[in-house]
Amino acid sequence: MEIIETGNQRMVVLPLEAKFLQSNNILIMGEITSEACNSWIQQLLYLGSTLSEGDTISMIINSPGGSVYDGLGVYDMMQNVISRGINIKTVNVGTAWSMAMILLMSGTPGMRYATPHSSTLVHEVSHWAEGKTPMVIDDLEEMKRVQSQMNNLITKHADPALIDLCNRKDLWLDAQQAIKYKIVDQIKL
């Protein structure tokens, strides 16, 4: 989608994402892919270099999740920005499933929100290991390492009880339950 702005005898066509970026908003929409994460990291780098301590970036999330490795790059950049005193408000406006849940819970404490009818999914890391036995064993070891990272992030940003609950099965949460497990701080329209 594009926005047309006019003024001073000229017309500018801006992608919708650029218009949101002007207001310090980053849209985490759709699947978490390498391409999407590269864009979100660039937006975080840009805003992190132009904003001052105490300013706020809003990350609006509606995502079914996706690549853990690429999502962790976004997570690291979020933490870098937060460490410099810039707040990151996260808002689940629909779905924050899987890796998107990690991004949702990783905003600035007290500034993590869910809309009333939003949905959050927490689950173990999944992987389709195939090939010769040594390759499968290596893949499973990597999967364990990544799951350990995810567990550490859950322990840091949310209720550690989530780890045991989601190790048994997919854990689907409504907005109230997301508050209960400290993924978000409050419900907000």
- Angstrom distance (rounded) from CA 94 to CA 77: 23
What SS3 class is residue 1?
A: coil
Catalytic residue among 58, 63, 119, 123: 123
Catalytic residue among 98, 106, 118, 119: 98
- Strands 10-15 and 25-29 come out as unpaired
From 72, 83, 93, select the one nearest 26 (Cα to Cα): 93
67 given a catalytic annotation: no
123 given a catalytic annotation: yes
Unique residue bearing structure tokens 């404490």: 109
Contact 104, 188 (CB under 8 A): no
- Strands 87-97 and 56-63 come out as parallel
Active site residues: 98, 123
